[in-house]
C-alpha cells in the first residue's frame, strides 16, 4: 500500500494546510490524556463525570481531571464501536482519519479484527504504527498516509468504516462515495460528528469560532443525510449525543489542558446551533 507520493495524497492547498496543522500538533489535551493508558484519542467525551475528581487533594486534582477526561473520551469510542454491528476476527475495518490510533486499537481488542487507519498526517501515521508495534498487533492493525477521499483500498473490502470527528475536513458527497465503494453489501458506516443546526439558518459565531480553531468546515446536519442517500448508505440509527457531551466540556474547562475552545463549544451546544450526532448507516 505504501510508496504513494505526497502530491497524490495532498491534492489541494487546504489539505496541505490541514496536514501541516496535525503534523505539528502536540496539544497536551491529546498527549497527556493518551499517556494515562496508552490510548491516544483525537475526539471528545461522553457521559457524566465523577464529582469526586474535584474533591480530593488540590495538588493532584489536575491529574484526576485528566484521567477522568480520558475515561470519557474512551467511553465515546466505545459507543461508536457498539454501533458497528457484528464484527468477526476475519473482517476488515477502516478508521478514516485515524489520528494516533486509539479507536483502531480498541476495535482490534474488542473484535480481534483487521483494522486499517488512514490519515493525511505523516506524523500521526508514524506514531500510530509505532504504537501498533509496541502493542504487538502490527499484523492486524496498520496505519497509512492516505487521503480518505481516495484510500486506494480494494472495492468491497470493508465490513465496517467509521469516522470520529473527521468529516468536517472533507466534502461529504466525495467521502461517502468512497465509503460506499469500499463497503461490502450490508456493511456498516458509523459517524460521530459535530454539525450545525439547519433550523436556525446561518451558523452562530460560536460554530464559526470552532471552524477557525481547527481549520475545518463544519457541515449542516442536513448535508450528512443528503450525501448518505446519494451514495446508497441508509441510516439505521441516529442518536443526538449533545446532552451527553456537555459534561465533558464543562470538566475540560476546569483543567490545565483547556485550549480556549471550551466556551465556544459549550455556547454552541447550549444555544442549539450545534449538535453532536451519531449516525449508523448500512450499505445497500
- What's the pLDDT score for residue 1? 45
- What's the pLDDT score for residue 144? 97
Residue 182 cell numbers, joined: 469500499
Residues 6+ apart with CB under 8 A from 110: 81, 87
Please report, in angstroms and rounded to a whole number, the separation of the first and last CA atoms in the chain. Answer: 27
Sign, CA dihedral 91-45-173-146, equals: negative
- What's the pLDDT score for residue 92? 98
Digit-coded pLDDT (tens) for 105-117? 999 999 999 999 9
- What's the pLDDT score for residue 28? 81
Which residues partner with 196 through β-bridges? 220, 274
Please report, rounded to a whole number, the percentage of residues in the chain having pLDDT higher than 70.
98
Residue 60 cell numbers, joined: 493532584
Residue pair 2/144 in contact by the 8 Å Cβ criterion: yes
The helix/strand/coil state of 61 is helix
DSSP labels, 91-113: -EEEEET-TTSHHHHHHHHHH--
**Phi (first) and psi of residue 30, to 5 degrees:** -95, -40
Sign, CA dihedral 28-47-164-198, equals: negative
pLDDT band per the 50, 70, 90 thresholds, residue 272: very high
Beta strands at 114-119 and 92-96: parallel, antiparallel or unpaired: parallel
- Kindly list the structural domains of the chain, giving each domain's residue range(s) and its CATH number in brackets, ordered by start: 1-283 (3.40.50.150)
The angle at the Cα of 108, spanning 74 to 116, to the nearest 5 degrees, equals 100
How far is Cα 153 from Cα 213, in angstroms, rounded to an integer? 32
272 dihedral zone (left: phi>0; alpha: psi -120 to 50; beta)? left
CA distances from 259 to 22, 28, 193, 254, 264 (A): 15, 9, 20, 11, 11
Residue 10 cell numbers, joined: 495532498
Q: What is the pTM of this model?
A: 0.95
47 dihedral zone (left: phi>0; alpha: psi -120 to 50; beta)? left
Q: Which of 23-37, 48-62, 143-157 has the lowest mean pLDDT?
A: 23-37
Digit-coded pLDDT (tens) for 217-242? 999 999 999 999 999 999 999 999 99
- What's the pLDDT score for residue 5? 73
Digit-coded pLDDT (tens) for 158-186? 999 999 999 999 999 999 999 999 999 99
Amino acid at each position: 500500500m505504501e510508496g504513494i507520493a505526497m502530491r497524490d495524497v495532498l491534492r489541494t492547498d487546504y489539505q496541505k494546510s490541514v496536514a501541516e496543522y496535525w503534523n505539528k500538533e502536540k496539544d497536551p489535551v491529546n498527549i497527556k490524556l493518551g499517556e494515562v493508558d496508552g490510548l491516544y484519542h483525537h475526539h471528545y467525551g461522553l457521559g457524566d463525570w465523577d464529582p469526586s475528581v474535584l474533591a480530593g487533594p488540590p495538588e493532584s486534582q489536575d491529574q484526576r481531571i485528566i484521567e477522568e477526561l480520558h475515561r470519557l473520551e474512551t467511553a465515546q469510542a466505545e459507543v461508536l464501536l457498539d454501533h458497528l454491528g457484528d464484527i468477526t476476527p476475519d473482517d476488515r475495518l477502516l478508521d478514516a482519519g485515524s489520528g494516533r490510533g486509539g479507536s483502531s486499537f480498541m476495535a482490534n481488542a474488542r473484535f480481534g479484527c483487521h483494522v486499517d487507519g488512514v490519515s493525511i498526517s505523516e506524523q500521526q501515521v508514524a506514531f500510530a504504527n509505532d504504537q501498533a508495534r509496541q502493542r504487538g498487533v502490527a499484523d492486524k492493525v496498520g496505519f497509512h498516509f492516505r487521503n480518505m477521499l481516495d484510500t486506494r483500498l480494494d472495492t468491497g473490502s470493508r465490513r465496517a468504516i467509521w469516522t470520529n470527528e473527521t468529516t468536517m475536513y472533507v466534502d461529504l458527497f466525495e467521502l461517502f462515495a468512497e465509503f460506499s465503494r469500499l463497503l461490502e453489501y450490508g456493511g456498516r458506516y458509523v459517524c460521530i460528528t459535530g454539525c450545525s443546526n439547519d433550523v436556525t439558518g446561518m451558523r452562530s459565531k460560536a460554530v464559526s469560532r470552532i471552524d477557525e480553531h481547527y481549520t475545518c468546515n463544519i457541515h449542516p446536519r442536513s448535508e450528512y443525510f443528503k450525501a448518505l442517500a446519494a451514495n446508497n448508505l441508509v441510516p439505521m440509527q441516529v442518536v443526538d449525543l449533545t446532552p451527553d457531551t456537555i459534561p465533558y466540556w464543562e470538566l475540560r474547562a476546569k483543567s490545565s489542558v483547556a485550549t480556549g475552545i471550551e466556551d465556544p463549544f459549550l455556547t454552541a451546544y447550549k444555544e442549539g446551533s450545534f449538535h453532536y450526532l451519531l449516525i449508523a448507516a448500512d450499505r445497500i
